[in-house]
Amino acid sequence: MTLTPVETLITIGIVTLGTMMTRFLPFLLFKGADAKNSYINYLGRVLPYASIGLLVVYCLKDVNLKSPAYGASEAIAIFCTAASYYWKENTLLSIGAGTVIYMLLVRL
Amino acid sequence: MQEKTKALKAAFPHTIPILTGFMFLGMAYGIIMESKGYHAGWTTLFSLVTFAGSAQYVAITFLTAFFNPTAALMMTLMVNARHVFYGISLLEKYQKAGKYKPYLIFGLCDETFSIVCSTKPPPGIDQTWFFLWITLLNHSYWVLGSLLGGLVGSLISFDLQGLDFVLTALFVVIFTNQWKSQDDHKPAICGVVCSTVCLIVFGPNRFLIPSMVIILLILSGWRRSYLEKYELVEEPIP
């Protein structure tokens, strides 16, 4: 523990405050505007798809393409996850299979 | 009461991947915090009030350097800026949540968002309670994982390298599911392409905000054609 307990509490409080600002902002900003504002309505319909795409890339942001494997473990595991889901539509099966394949690949 | 139990039964299976991922990441977090001299009590408190994995990992830097609340705030806002998109996406779904709405918004981490935005409760299940259980279960997995990591993490000797991929796999499955259920793939492609390009250009620590701005600009540009395709069709053609 580098900080004093009070400094730690303040830092935890600040990180919580920052997180909650990002989570509550849209709900406070567009309170009551939902049905009338067609621009926000439109964004609310298309953003879920763009957000999940962003989230997948976000998960892969620290993949080191300069390592000997060039991110191949991630690519193969993602392909297996997506392909098996496309085929069988079984969420837990695809997630389980993808994760096991990834854990095996990173041990090679 | 029975309604709440039914909603819990419907919600739990959706959270199983998150149970796995959060136990692992939460325990890893507890172990790292412990190694920096922050015992299980601190980690549990932090996970309970913040419930934001990536921001909490980044915050380790600020807990182990000199006291700098301004930098901690800026960094948190940058890391968590993506949550703004989640809120906009869920304005409609969370509209009728009433007194539970503040908690649902509080618990809107990546994983909760991914389930809520892509899942409808089965027929006969109360929507608010369904989403509430998903949020509450995820929150408790994260807190429990952090607590266990702080308490007994150092005793665990299994090799769990790569288990964190379970959350990436969850997002990939949701992406595939959305892809199959939609004819219009442009928003999904826009999300992946813009963030990949920005990741290459700006690097892993700075790409999030430029990606979000470019995604917003492109989606805004597509609005007219989207409306023509999905809404103006119903209007009589002059």
Map A66-88 to HEC letters: CCCCCCHHHHHHHHHHHHHHHHH
Q: Would you say B175 and A56 are in contact if contact means Cβ atoms under 8 Å apart?
A: yes
Host domain of residue B229: 182-238
SS3 A63: coil
Q: Would you say B190 and B218 are in contact if contact means Cβ atoms under 8 Å apart?
A: yes
The total number of structural domains in chain B stands at 2
* Residue B232 and residue B198 share a domain: yes
Whole-complex ipTM = 0.90
- To probe the interface with B, which of A17, A52, A64, A84 has the most B CB atoms within 10 Å? A52
Residue type at A37? N
The pTM is what?
Answer: 0.87
* Residue B62 and residue B84 share a domain: yes
**Domain boundary, last residue among B179, B208, B224:** B179
Average pLDDT of A51-79? 89
Task: Tell me how far apart the alpha carbons of residues B87 and B108 are, in angstroms, rounded to a whole number.
Answer: 8
**Domain boundary, last residue among B136, B160, B179:** B179
* Residue B47 and residue B141 share a domain: yes
* Residue B164 and residue B238 share a domain: no
pLDDT given for residue B155 in this prediction: 81
* Residue B216 and residue B147 share a domain: no
Give the tokens for residue B91: 């304005």
**If pLDDT is split at 50, 70 and 90, which confidence band does B144 have?**
very high
Instruction: Quickly tell me which residue has 């369904």 as its tokens.
Output: B130
* Residue B208 and residue B94 share a domain: no
Half-sphere exposure at residue A42, Cβ-oriented, CA atoms within 13 angstroms:
19
* Residue B112 and residue B95 share a domain: yes
Q: Does B204 touch chain A (CB under 8 A)?
A: yes
Residues A17, B73: C-beta atoms closer than 8 Å: yes
* Residue B169 and residue B71 share a domain: yes
- To probe the interface with B, which of A91, A105, A107 has the most B CB atoms within 10 Å? A91
* Residue B202 and residue B98 share a domain: no
| Residue in A15, A23, A34 closest to B83 by CB | A23
* Residue B187 and residue B147 share a domain: no
* Residue B111 and residue B48 share a domain: yes
Average pLDDT of A19-41? 83
pLDDT given for residue B234 in this prediction: 44
* Residue B187 and residue B238 share a domain: yes
Q: Does B29 touch chain A (CB under 8 A)?
A: no
Q: Would you say A37 and B75 are in contact if contact means Cβ atoms under 8 Å apart?
A: no
